[in-house]
Structure 1
Amino acid sequence: MLTRDAPRHWHWRGRRVLLTDGTTTTLPDNEVNQAAYPQPDSQKPGLGFPLMRVQALICLGSGALCDAATGPCVGKGGDEQTLLREMLDNLEGGDILLGDAFYPTYFLLAELIGNGIDGLFEQYGARKRSTDFALAEVLDKHDHIVVLSKPKKRPDWMSPEEYARLPETLNVREIQCGGKLLVTTFLDAKDTPKGVLKALYRRRWHVELDIRNIKTTLGMETLRCKSPKMACKELWVYLLAYNLIRLLMAQSAWLSDQIPRQLSFKHTVQVWTAWTQIARGSEDGESMYQLMILIARTLVGLRSGRIEPRLIKRRRNRFGLLMEPRADARERVRAFGHPKKQR
């Protein structure tokens, strides 16, 4: 359970829990943006948009963004693992990191263990198929401790000195619960039984909702600036606005004796937008107090463990995809008109 021991400090068993996940956002299609954030290789030139990858590190208790890193989606240095490593300095000994199946690699687990940080992740798909709970140190049914060996090949991003300092083996725990295979650095089955870890991992879903709030509710799905430098500034303005809204939610939750995660992000945005139009600068203490109470009036509940199909119900319109540069498409329409099925 999440507990509150002081204003604006929310913990799991007295420890800070952080969530991480990656997403993408598109930029205007021009040469400078394409050079910094190339479109996917599967798309033909002129048909796609520059794509920026964004890696987020978010506090589980308050939903506040602790840090973010950006990079291209094509080439080295832009994958989620690389961007996450750039932000590991934000983690301290005793913290807990939750992530999906992309993250539990040997090198990340070794760095977490070396810094006194615990991790809880879903198991990587390839290893999931070879997991045998009858082997290694069996703790319980579908619960054991396995030994991971250091990969023999040093990755390009790691120096020889860093590679040499890594331990030859790591002890990690694999458990199967709730239809998922989890890997964690919590090795004590008595202190952290499967049910406790299952309940904790279910809260990872909040990072999906937080990223949706940033991209959809605030409108960061498509950036508008026409240069990489200005696009990064625009991105951080969105993230700053997100944290300011989370601050309002945390203050409102404290005054109303609620948990910040129980308050609605979209409701807070709507209330704040309406209030700023009505207040017109008259921000006295009483009106701010009423604003906080109004924000806390709409609760959403603890929505952990949700599973949603990556499908849409709303049908697309009758127009097809643009499969050639727009200038060529315009010339073809001028010469031959629109296809009959699109008229």
Structure 2
Amino acid sequence: MKNTTPLLPGFHLSTLRRKPRAASQKLAEERARIREKSISQLCECLGSFIPAHELNPAPVGDFSRRRLFSKENTFWGFFSQVLDADGGCQEVVHRFQAFAAAKGAKAPSLSTAAYCNARSKLQLSSLENILLHTAAQLKMHPTSKYWLDRRVVVVDGTGLSMPDTQANQQVWPQPRNQLPGCGFPQARLCACFCLQTGALLSYRIGSRKIHELPLLRQQWQTFQPGDIFVGDKGFCSYYDVAQFRKREVDSVIPLARRHPVKDSEAMEVLGPDDLLIKWPKPQWNKQLSYTKEEWAELPDYLTLRQIKVTVKTPGFRVREFYIVTTLTDPNCYPADALADLYYQRWDVELYFRDLKTTLGMDILRCKSPEMVQKEILMHLIVYNCIRHLMLEAADQKGLMPRQLSVKASIQALRQWLPLLNRAVLKPAEQRRLVSLLQDAIAATVLPERRGRVEPRCVKRRPKPFRLMTKPRSVMQEALVTESPTC
């Protein structure tokens, strides 16, 4: 008898001699189709540093449908926006138009509305997970040579500005001495970096009215037993040194807000200008940033080491200063080695320069607090990915990561990206080009310029424009009323 069963979608007849596809196979094909619409060059070169599951399409809701601005495409578009010298949304839309034309698909509109809407749907939690993943990968890299086999975490803070919108002003208000409409919202960023690799491990954002110490305390989970914390004078705090010691983390900070201990008052003289001292617990008052209960749990005193450092290099502003540390063994940690370790703390200023000047994070562009946080996160992700490339290039050439230039690495990446397209290259050719990219990154070796002295001033004169002392709308109205009529 002839089979009259209708051929419904998804059903299979044995007479067709076609095996049914498994659910996993269908999901793999779906991911492959979506991946084909990504910005392939960036994904090919830096995709190994990004967790793929964070960019998969959602089962329902945002990014669940197959569109040009999928979650993966939107992420890499945002990534390229940070990496580009222009940094505008229109540039990303033009890139998507060229990408669609190369695929033979319909080019999207020149309007940035669709891309900006898709960018706003990226979840902060997903970007946070990507940043943590990049930091963990840098930590596990085999070339991460630590200082005396211990990881050194340098901490510092910096300021950021953003567009003058009411929403941004409420979260990050401008300085009080500026009139409304004449300034910009100011945020404070406190970040922890790995000194050896330059990787950004964690960060916190606050307003400029918040000190860096409370922001650091929100990042205590970044530190692991055996780490060494290095900070400037702003982090010299009895409470924080005690808390780090409780977590088996040693501290190296310059002395501040206390008088140095004299030789006669020391517990032991370990060497020239090297003393073993006692730090008594300070008296509690209401102005402290911790509670009276937390103060009561602190030890009555801390046994620390005080080292006097004399700066012999001419041109430095400081001639001598004191370092206090919990590394009290002079045999394992000589005084000169600790002084040199604090000298390397200056690298954190260079890390912030790479973020703010080279990647353009100094002046942000987004107009809402949520998008400002996403923009900062994307800058940090791009920075860590560049550090990944530098670490691999340094490994190939037997160099230290701090010997390579972030700016030169970004310039090399921008020039090599058009060549890295898996759709037109064979795997062997792809690997060859990536190896040549690493060679180009490692070609620029920074010279060791110890003792470099530069004046703290600028030569370029600013343009002779007066400062804005009134809101823009008021000044525009004054210009209209003062202009002569025809």
TM superposition score normalised by structure 1 = 0.89
Name the counterpart of 2:303: 171
Name the counterpart of 1:145: 276
Is 1:250 paired with 2:391? yes
SS of residue matched to 1:204: helix
CA distance, structure 2, for counterparts of residue 172 and residue 324 of structure 1:
53
- Which of residues 123, 127, 152 is equivalent to 2:258? 127
Runs of 5+ in structure 1 lacking a partner? 339-343
Name the counterpart of 2:370: 229
* Counterparts in 2 of 1:23 and 1:294: CA distance versus 1, 3 Å: same
Larger CA deviation: 198-207 vs 210-219: 198-207
CA distance, structure 2, for counterparts of residue 57 and residue 250 of structure 1:
18
Larger CA deviation: 242-251 vs 158-167: 158-167
Name the counterpart of 1:15: 150
* Counterparts in 2 of 1:185 and 1:116: CA distance versus 1, 3 Å: same
Deviation at 1:172, TM superposition (A): 1.7
Is 1:162 paired with 2:294? yes
SS of residue matched to 1:171: strand
Larger CA deviation: 101-110 vs 179-188: 179-188
Letter paired with 2:271: D
CA distance, structure 2, for counterparts of residue 263 and residue 198 of structure 1:
24
- Which of residues 211, 235, 238 is equivalent to 2:379? 238
- Which of residues 3, 25, 33 is equivalent to 2:160? 25
SS of residue matched to 1:113: helix
Report Cα offsets for 1:224-258 as digits up to 9, x if no partner.
11110110001000000000000000111111111
Is 1:274 paired with 2:415? yes
* Counterparts in 2 of 1:99 and 1:242: CA distance versus 1, 3 Å: same
Larger CA deviation: 50-59 vs 150-159: 150-159
* Counterparts in 2 of 1:324 and 1:106: CA distance versus 1, 3 Å: same
CA distance, structure 2, for counterparts of residue 133 and residue 80 of structure 1:
32
Deviation at 1:134, TM superposition (A): 4.4
| 1:1-343 correspondence to structure 2 within 5 Å | 7-74=142-209, 78-124=210-256, 126-127=257-258, 131-137=261-267, 138-153=269-284, 157-177=289-309, 178=311, 179-281=320-422, 282=425, 284-302=430-448, 308-336=454-482
Deviation at 1:170, TM superposition (A): 0.9
Deviation at 1:272, TM superposition (A): 0.3
Q: Percent identity?
A: 36
Q: Is the CA contact (8 Å cut-off) linking 1:205 and 1:304 kept in structure 2? A: no
Deviation at 1:302, TM superposition (A): 4.1
* Counterparts in 2 of 1:304 and 1:239: CA distance versus 1, 3 Å: farther
CA distance, structure 2, for counterparts of residue 105 and residue 208 of structure 1:
21
Q: Is the CA contact (8 Å cut-off) linking 1:261 and 1:302 kept in structure 2? A: no
Runs of 5+ in structure 2 lacking a partner? 1-139, 312-319
CA distance, structure 1, for counterparts of residue 450 and residue 235 of structure 2:
20
CA distance, structure 2, for counterparts of residue 258 and residue 175 of structure 1:
32
CA distance, structure 2, for counterparts of residue 190 and residue 276 of structure 1:
50
CA distance, structure 2, for counterparts of residue 66 and residue 88 of structure 1:
11
Letter paired with 2:379: Y
TM superposition score normalised by structure 2 = 0.64
Q: Is the CA contact (8 Å cut-off) linking 1:202 and 1:305 kept in structure 2? A: no
Deviation at 1:303, TM superposition (A): 5.1
CA distance, structure 2, for counterparts of residue 194 and residue 110 of structure 1:
22
Report Cα offsets for 1:251-288 as digits up to 9, x if no partner.
11111111111111110000001111233444711111
Larger CA deviation: 290-299 vs 6-15: 6-15
SS of residue matched to 1:48: coil
CA distance, structure 2, for counterparts of residue 211 and residue 191 of structure 1:
31
Deviation at 1:143, TM superposition (A): 2.2
Deviation at 1:185, TM superposition (A): 1.3
Letter paired with 2:160: T
Deviation at 1:314, TM superposition (A): 1.3
Which structure shows the higher strand fraction? 1
Letter paired with 1:297: A
* Counterparts in 2 of 1:277 and 1:304: CA distance versus 1, 3 Å: farther
* Counterparts in 2 of 1:134 and 1:277: CA distance versus 1, 3 Å: farther
CA distance, structure 2, for counterparts of residue 91 and residue 303 of structure 1:
30
